């Protein structure tokens, strides 16, 4: 299993245990969108780009993430399961 797949699984299981959905996000015809959407109780929504510990965002991903943030959306880049779990905790508290 690839590093990002292991990371995704750990965060997804943790998020589901906290009552969240951690959904795969695809946007046909639009490259560079975040990998996942974290949907938390109470209507909180966070777009999440997962990266292996040595990974980095591409220039296109960086532009899309910045465009989304400029529109007021919460977009996070996560490099570890611990940081992903901290995001879930932050989102559900």
Instruction: Look at residue 1 in the predicted model and tell me its pLDDT.
Output: 52
Instruction: Look at residue 10 in the predicted model and tell me its pLDDT.
Output: 94
Instruction: Look at residue 81 in the predicted model and tell me its pLDDT.
Output: 94
Residues (pLDDT < 50) of the chain are none
The pLDDT tens digits for 47-72 are 999 998 888 999 999 999 999 999 99
What residue ranges do the domains of the chain occupy? 3-92
Sheet containing 36-40: give its strands across. 21-24, 36-40, 44-50, 75-78
Instruction: Look at residue 4 in the predicted model and tell me its pLDDT.
Output: 81
CATH class, domain 3-92, is alpha beta
């Amino acid at each position: 299993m690839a590093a990002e797949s292991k990371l995704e699984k750990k965060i997804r299981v943790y998020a589901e245990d906290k009552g969240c959905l951690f959904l795969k996000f695809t946007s046909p015809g639009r490259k560079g969108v975040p990998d996942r959407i974290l949907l938390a109780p109470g209507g909180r929504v966070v777009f999440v780009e997962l990266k292996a510990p040595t990974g980095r965002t591409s220039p296109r991903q960086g532009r899309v993430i910045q465009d989304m943030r400029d529109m007021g959306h919460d977009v996070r880049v996560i490099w570890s399961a611990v940081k992903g779990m901290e995001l879930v905790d932050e989102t559900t508290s």
